[in-house]
Amino acid sequence: MRVSAVLVLNDRPLSAESIGKFASPKRDEFCRRSLSCVEILGQSLLDRTVARLRDAGVQAISVIGGTDLSSLPSYRGLEITIAHRPTDRWSAAQRTVISHRAKGYDIVLMVGLGAYMEMNVAEVVRFHRAHGKPLTQLEDNQGSLDFWVVDSTWFSTAANGCTLPFRYGEFPGLPVACRVSGYVNRLQEARDLRRLVLDAFLSRCEITPRGREVRPGIWIDDAARVHKSARLVAPLYLGYSTKIGPSAVITRFSNLERRCQVGAGTVVESATILPYTVLGSGLEVSGAVVDGNRFVDLERNIALQVEDPRLIRDATPSPWFIPARRGSESQPNRGSEGLDYGYSQYLSRAAGRLSEVLFKG
């Protein structure tokens, strides 16, 4: 029996117009890119899903998504299809399943990426085969998940031309529901992303931060630079080539992803800072998700776009300049986008007036 997988990026990037018009930041509203492609604790959900499928012995994996995929490295053995409009992705998935059938794959795992799911793939396939039906859908205690196990022969014949994703009632008695017991996070809101990070730090899911655990609970990835006067309080994660300025405080359940920069005296507490985000000096970032100049305050439950680049800004390089990823990224960033360390400004703002006590002598 040969098993393949088709992964469809089920989320869409944020439109700038939608910022600030809502009260409850959803997935599409706090992240500029497809969240599945954004590194969380050093590795994207797409990477983690591909690794899980490969570990389970899935032989061919196709990925269908938007332009975000074009900036990804050429995954070895992955077939990548770019579909600009989200609505086109499922029709591309349909063609891909049929092409997998032609290549001799009996079972196709069709996954709508958006939620993060930890399931035993071999067990799911066993369940599917044991029930003898052509279509199985995973579900957890909150309802059905965008994960189907499809018999490719049935799909190419009886289900040919059906609309994807599958809907209940389209085919009598299908799909068969398969309950998953593993960790699932639907990642629908910014709060869910924070929960994922907390769960990873607390070992409630299988995600482990990349990089080296330099002290218990403190993971630092390659080429990260931390000023000697900065304070790190576990648990936290600093991604590849992050820069932490003098007297900055990074504390408790915070994660700063690839190439983030934190200015002098800024406090980051229980916050998720997504890749290529620059935080200025003397800021207080607490209980938030920040992506470039998009800021989601989870306590106030609002999202906003900050226009002043001295506060927060996006440092994503131009597409032609995006370096190859970890494996081939031999040179640490020596660019001139250094932090504007305002030594005279941060002392009174860093961690309240007591930072003055701490650093005065």
Partner 1 sequence: MTDCSKVVVKHLPERVTLSQAREIFAELEPALENDRPCLVFDFSDVVQIDSAGIEMMLRCMEEAMKRNGDLKLAALSPQVAVILELTRVDRLFEIFATPSDAAESFHRFPVQALRQSTPPRNTGRFEAGLGEASS
Q: What does the binding site for partner 1 look like in residue numbers (CB under 8 A)?
A: 191, 194-195, 198, 201-204, 213-217, 231, 233-235, 249, 251-254, 267, 269-270, 286-287, 298-299, 351-354, 357-358
CB closer to partner 1, 255 vs 293: 255
Q: Which is nearer to partner 1, 191 or 225 (CB)?
A: 191
Identity of residue 89: R
Give whichever of 4 and 272 is closer to partner 1, judged by the CB atom: 272
From CA 31, how far away is CA 27, in angstroms rounded?
A: 7
Least separation in angstroms between residue 228's CB and partner 1 is 8
Rounded least distance, CB 218 to partner 1, Å? 8
Q: 58: closest CA among 128, 153, 156, 125?
A: 125
- Closest contact distance (angstroms) between CB of 239 and partner 1 is 18
d(CA 81, CA 64): 5
- Tokens at 189, concatenated: 């809101």
DSSP string over 220-274: E-TT-EE-TT-EEESSEEE-TT-EE-TT-EEESSEEE-TT-EE-TT-EEES-EE-
3-state DSSP helix/strand/coil % of the chain, to nearest 5: 25, 30, 45
d(CA 242, CA 258): 6
Nearer to partner 1, 332 or 352 (CB): 352
Closer residue to partner 1 (CB): 162 or 233: 233
Q: Give min distance, CB of 285 to partner 1, in A.
A: 12
> Hey, CA dihedral for 201, 203, 205, 207, is it positive or negative?
positive
CB-based contact 221:42 (threshold 8 Å): yes
CB of 290 to partner 1, least distance (A): 14
| Smallest gap from residue 323 Cβ to partner 1 (A) | 30
- In the complex with partner 1, the residue whose CB is nearer, 93 or 230, is 230
